[in-house]
A and B are shown apart, each in its own frame.
Chain A
Amino acid sequence: MIGIRIHGRGGQGAVTASRLLADASYRDGKFSQAIPMYGTERRGAPLVAYVRIDDVRVRERELVHEPDVVIVLDPLLSKKQSVASGLKKGGLLILNSSLPPEKVEIAGDIKIATVDATKIALETLKLPITNTAILGAFSKSVGYPTMESIEKSIRNQFPGRVGEMNIAAIHQSYEEVTPAVQATHTEPVVEESDIAVGGYGVLKDVSSWRVFTPIIDLDKCTGCRACWLFCPETAIQWKDNRPEIEYHKCKGCGICVEECPVKCIAFERVVA
């Protein structure tokens, strides 16, 4: 039996990925479970989902505490040591990252494979929804479920044009995923922020929620305050008649980019 944990952020489809994976495995004649983790699934907030795949009927009903494979859908979460917590010795970590696996700073007796799923998703789906894009990488790295079964599951879940776009994404990630290599780092990096940011109340740092980052060109700024006025998270502070973005508060919604009348705020994907 293998246990799989999927890390993602709300809106990237971690729960859908778990269901597609379980569904595709079932189509291959295996027994499978998809377990969503219920909590506050805010758009952008980190969350987890679990899958179990076995050749015989799965009797367990609990969460997967010691997974064999961990899939990370988000490039910023891919840099956190805690995604590997509980991963079995010799387990596999599939990361959404533009870095080659040798450069990933996650320590442990584990194997790492990387694929730039956000790039693939932006190319095929035109949206940073990376759940299907990473399934191709899973199929290549683990050996199952077969691509035909994943295609069938996707067609079943997303009929029509959307399904075909997702199928293009899994094929591209099947081709582009790097072979799994042993993790080179031995000392875990100390983390500044917790990945389990969710729930109610005030959070410390939400920069891991962003896909795109707003960058203000102060030379073009006219000082109209529109960005400051409409920022839901007060991430834009008004200092000396100029806006200043506090990036640990910015969730990357893009309201400031839309509302700037002189379009002096760029919205860029900051990689690694």
Chain B
Amino acid sequence: MQIPLEELTITPGSACQGCGAALAARLAFKAIGPNAIRHRVPCCPDSTTAHPSASSVFESGGAMLTGTWRGLKAIGRTDVQVVGFFGDGGTYDIGLQSLSAAAERNENIWVITKDNEAYMNTGNQRSGATPIFARTSTTPVGSVTKGKQMRKKQIAKIFAAHGIPYLATASVGYPEDLIAKINYGKTVKGFKMLIIQSPCPVGWRYDGSKTIEMARLGVQTGIWPLYEIIDGEKLKLNYKPRELKPVTEYLKPQARFRHLTDDNISLIQEETAKEWETLLKSDELGRVLL
């Protein structure tokens, strides 16, 4: 597949060195193309693009996209893609209600989430997207608690349950897959969602040069499986290795998981394996199993 050479991002931006989200924005908007309106809610400063853009509060992401789409429809510009490029806070937590409402109404919009697994812009506070046992500034490692005690929210399944026409997960480690998913989504009318895992060197605490490696390991260990769900029922796994790598390969280089005991790791391994089994079965049957 040919990845377009044209760059739509205006750089250099103000993202950190080795930012996964800046790369996610660059790749996603390469595929979206210039004929789009981009909306944002508070998030890390990823790559700025040349699209017309507006910012709003966390809670109103879905409402803002809906309004823009309805306005475009009224003036007959249905060729324009309406894209919300949100962080995990704007999707998993604070922005969930308005996005859920927009999904339920099946508005013709894109929601692209760059999931860096915490509120990284304000200094690494835990979010619904933070994985279990991860150390953040609000779930520190001390004598009583050892990182976040709750699991990561299964946002893809929540939105799949809305029966939206297209939902997919992607990773900055697999740009061809990411771009192919957006290219397919552009042909779909209705609520489209793409969740991109974008590693954060500052919050996850690894060296910035390893961002792509982290993203790849996330996929290869089964922590971040790549799949797409069509109409909320047909599931297709896009990356199916013969055997998954052990999760330690993903957890060990990240200092946010440095305190993990063997029990913790085996729990994560077990849950990942279980989730992977379900996904394999879903892929075989061609429908989502919860």
Which bracket fits the contact residues of A? Answer: 35 or more
Residues of A within 8 A of B16 (CB): 10, 42-45, 251
How far apart sit A139 and B202, CA to CA, in the bound complex (Å)? 30
Contact of B209 among A40, A43, A254 (CB under 8 A): A254
The B-contacting residues of A in range 103-128, CB under 8 angstroms, are none
Query: In this assembly, does A91 line the interface, its C-beta being within 8 Å of a C-beta of chain B?
Result: no
**How many residues on the B side are at the interface (Cβ–Cβ under 8 A)?**
32
How far apart sit A248 and B11, CA to CA, in the bound complex (Å)? 10
Query: In this assembly, does B277 line the interface, its C-beta being within 8 Å of a C-beta of chain A?
Result: no
Residues of A within 8 A of B26 (CB): 232, 234
Known A43-B17, A201-B48, A255-B18; judge A249-B208 contact (CB<8 A).
no
Query: In this assembly, does A34 line the interface, its C-beta being within 8 Å of a C-beta of chain B?
Result: no
How far apart sit A161 and B256, CA to CA, in the bound complex (Å)? 19
Distance (Å) between the CB of B65 and the closest chain A CB? 21
Query: In this assembly, does A215 line the interface, its C-beta being within 8 Å of a C-beta of chain B?
Result: no
Known A44-B17, A200-B45, A251-B17; judge A233-B12 contact (CB<8 A).
yes
Give residues in A with beta carbon < 8 Å to B: 10-11, 40, 42-45, 197-206, 209, 225, 229-235, 238, 248-249, 251-255, 257-259
Give residues in B with beta carbon < 8 Å to A: 3, 5, 7, 9-20, 22-23, 26, 45, 47-48, 172, 175, 201-202, 207-213
24 contacts across the A-B interface (CB closer than 8 A)? A42-B16, A43-B202, A44-B16, A200-B14, A201-B13, A202-B14, A202-B48, A203-B13, A229-B175, A232-B22, A232-B26, A233-B13, A234-B9, A235-B12, A249-B11, A251-B12, A251-B18, A253-B17, A253-B19, A253-B201, A253-B209, A253-B211, A255-B18, A258-B210
List 5 additional contacts besides A40-B45, A229-B3, A233-B12; criterion CB under 8 Å. Answer: A43-B202, A201-B13, A205-B12, A254-B208, A255-B211
